[in-house]
Amino acid sequence: MLKILTTKIELQEWKAKKTDIGFVPTMGNLHQGHLSLVEKSFRHHQNTLISIFVNPTQFNNADDLKNYPRTLTQDLELLELLHKTYSHKELVVFAPLDASEVYPTNFDTQILPGKLATKLCGFYRPGHFSGVCSVVYHLLHLAGAKSAYFGKKDYQQYLIVKKMVEDLSLKTEIVPCELVRDEKGLALSSRNNRLSEDQKISALNLIHALKALEAKLLTDDYLALETLKKKILSEDKQFEYLEILDASNLEAYDQETQNYLIAGAYFVGSVRLIDNIVIKRGTAQHA
């Protein structure tokens, strides 16, 4: 049986008796990508806590916040089902009904991530990563977990959260998890539910572009790589950005770069999708 907690007091009571907690923060509308994080936590911890909370402070567009899918009943069903396979482990859901269960009353302090948040999504969504850091900071405190699991689907978010945890000496280890795709290669995302079948096909332009750049990168011909990137961007105006960076710090890559990040943000209608590939230097392997 799933345990469902809705208040921070209930959460504090639950965690007081636990020493080994793995934590998976989410905004709900769960899919196999989220469940893969929960499974990873099951494999490493006796107790797994998943939070389902649509964090208002990370949305810089009121419509996006309003339209974000909220499907708690369906989410709980998916978690129940997954838990059957791991019934010897404890699974607890923290689904606060109100932001006051996450943020302190009259909360008025921001966490401002540095350089990493000036690139990619951070450049186009001002304040977004400050909102992410603020909610993750509070959730990490509430969860008191040994490890927290983050998907590489949001690669920049993972790097920023890891840096925040280091810089603020938080005690939870941040564990990266593989990006999960559907059979056609589309990165699973809660936003995919807002796409029609035709739009799902258009959405594949994003991964196709990333793959084309990956193939070029593997030839070590940087000039051809940059030319291809420019060509894609000039031919398809649905890209918000398409970039190749050093995956360790989001700076420009050079001859010394060990891991490359190829990342894109792409609009299908009004739905903004992101995706990325991380590649190890000199190999055809994904890092």
List of residues contacting ligand AMP (CB under 6 A): 26-27, 33-34, 36-37, 150-151, 153-154, 177, 179-180, 187-190
CB closer to ligand AMP, 188 vs 232: 188
Q: CB neighbours (10 Å) of residue 15?
A: 20
Identity of the amino acid at 69: P
CB closer to ligand AMP, 27 vs 225: 27
Identity of the amino acid at 280: K
CA distance 17 to 29: 29
Whether the CB-CB separation of 262 and 255 falls below 8 Å is answered with no
Name the closest residue to ligand AMP (Cβ): 151
User: Is 286 tagged catalytic?
Assistant: no
We find the least distance from the C-beta atom of residue 216 to ligand AMP, in angstroms, to be 24
Q: What are phi and psi of 51, to 5 degrees?
A: -105, 145
We find the least distance from the C-beta atom of residue 272 to ligand AMP, in angstroms, to be 12
CB closer to ligand AMP, 33 vs 113: 33
CB closer to ligand AMP, 181 vs 281: 181
Whether the CB-CB separation of 244 and 225 falls below 8 Å is answered with yes
We find the least distance from the C-beta atom of residue 34 to ligand AMP, in angstroms, to be 5
We find the least distance from the C-beta atom of residue 82 to ligand AMP, in angstroms, to be 14
CB closer to ligand AMP, 132 vs 209: 132
Task: Catalytic residue, from 31, 34, 88, 208: name it.
Answer: 34
We find the least distance from the C-beta atom of residue 112 to ligand AMP, in angstroms, to be 20
CA 181 to chain centre: 13
Q: CB neighbours (10 Å) of residue 39?
A: 17
> Secondary structure of the chain: what % helix, strand, coil (to 5)?
45, 20, 35
CA distance 117 to 173: 20
Q: Collapse the DSSP code of 104 into the 3-class scheme (helix H, G, I; strand E, B; otherwise coil) and give the result.
A: coil
Please name every residue paired with 173 in a beta bridge, in sequence order, or none if there are none. 147
Q: Which are the catalytic amino acids?
A: 34
